[in-house]
């Protein structure tokens, strides 16, 4: 059967074997180039800004592999849209190359709100940018701490430090505006409800200080102011003056008859003097 090999010389068989070997290697590398498409390059299409579905469809149709590498969140961009791609658009790469995509998240991640009270406006602004939060409205009220944050608000309400809110939300700040130069007589808050007294203080740019409760008070807004500090007059009956931004302490009770026995007669006397 193999007589054609045995009838030939060893040298002839060796030459034939070498030729066949080189031919096999040559054919292998030719086929390898065809299989791997060696030397075939294609431009990466621009998919940034497209939805992840349309980006995948386009890339796969052009022979690329697709992998979502990361996700970020920008409230200014459409949800589940491509934010970044690698390789970059128009870059020449081999077919079958994997294109890595970074997409915009469908839901905003939650961010813990720090305690901004007592910090400067500039410091808070930098922290908000770092956390991906926005600076909302800023307002001021008279206070010794000029330019410092007095309150931090979310949706109009005070927010407790550590509370988590969606990234991209706005935090409003109340800043200290200093003490007013103009003086006024200390107002008479005796007999007012606590709710009325707070409105009066705010409208006159005075700050509510300590609130001392006398007895059992269920609904503080309906409790009465029975004592205030400072009082309207000193021990010698001279009017006491106050400036916007200063504090007034209030004593409240559900029993209106407990109005300060020292301050009440003077307040009544002043009312009678005004009537004349």
Between β-strands 247-253 and 224-229, what pairing exists: parallel, antiparallel or unpaired?
antiparallel
pLDDT digits (tens, 9 = 90+) for 201-228: 988 888 888 899 998 888 888 999 999 9
DSSP class of residue 50 equals S
| Per-residue confidence (pLDDT) for residue 196, from 0 to 100 | 94
Q: How is domain 41-104 classified at the architecture level of CATH?
A: 2-Layer Sandwich (3.30)
* Nearest-angstrom CA–CA distance, 89 and 77: 19
Q: Are the C-beta atoms of 211 and 252 separated by less than 8 Å?
A: yes
Q: In terms of C-beta density within 10 A (0-12 exposed, 13-18 middle, 19 or more buried), how is residue 206 classed?
A: buried
Instruction: Tell me if 179 sits within 8 A of 212, measured CB to CB.
Output: no
CATH class of 183-275: alpha beta
- Please state, as a whole number, how many other Cβ atoms lie within 10 Å of the Cβ of residue 188: 20
Q: How many degrees, rounded to 5, is the angle at CA 31 between CA 28 and CA 33?
A: 110
pLDDT value for 273: 44
Under DSSP, the state recorded for 232 is S
Distance between CA atoms of 238 and 257, rounded to whole angstroms? Answer: 25
pLDDT tens per residue, range 39-68? 568 889 999 999 999 999 999 998 899 999
Q: Report residues of the chain scoring pLDDT below 50.
A: 1-2, 4-5, 262, 264-276
Three-state secondary-structure class, residue 203? helix
Please say whether the structural domain 110-176 has been given the CATH code 1.20.1070.10: no
């Amino acid at each position: 059967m193999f007589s054609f090999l045995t009838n030939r010389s060893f040298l002839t068989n060796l030459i034939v074997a070498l030729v066949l070997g080189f031919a096999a290697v040559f054919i292998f590398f030719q086929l390898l180039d065809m299989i791997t498409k060696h030397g075939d390059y294609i431009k990466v299409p621009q998919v940034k800004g497209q939805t992840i579905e349309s980006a995948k469809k386009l890339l796969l149709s052009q022979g690329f592999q697709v992998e979502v590498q990361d996700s970020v969140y920008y409230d200014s961009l459409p949800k589940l849209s491509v934010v970044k791609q690698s390789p970059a658009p128009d870059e020449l790469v081999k077919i079958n190359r994997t294109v890595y995509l970074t997409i915009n998240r469908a839901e905003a991640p939650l961010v813990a709100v720090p305690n901004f009270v007592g910090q400067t406006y500039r410091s808070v602004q930098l922290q908000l940018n770092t956390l991906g939060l926005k600076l909302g409205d800023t307002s001021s009220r008279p206070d010794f701490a000029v330019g410092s944050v007095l309150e931090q608000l979310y949706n109009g309400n005070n927010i407790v430090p550590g509370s988590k809110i969606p990234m991209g939300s706005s935090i409003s700040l109340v800043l200290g505006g200093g003490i007013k130069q103009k003086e006024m007589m200390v107002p008479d808050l005796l007999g007012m409800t606590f709710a009325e007294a707070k409105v009066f203080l705010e409208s006159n740019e005075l700050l509510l200080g300590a609130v001392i409760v006398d007895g059992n008070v269920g609904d503080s807004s309906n409790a009465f102011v029975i004592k205030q500090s400072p009082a309207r007059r000193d021990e010698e009956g001279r009017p006491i003056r106050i400036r916007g931004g200063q504090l007034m302490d209030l004593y409240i009770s559900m029993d209106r008859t407990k109005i300060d026995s020292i301050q009440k007669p003077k307040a009544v006397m002043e009312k009678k003097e005004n009537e004349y």
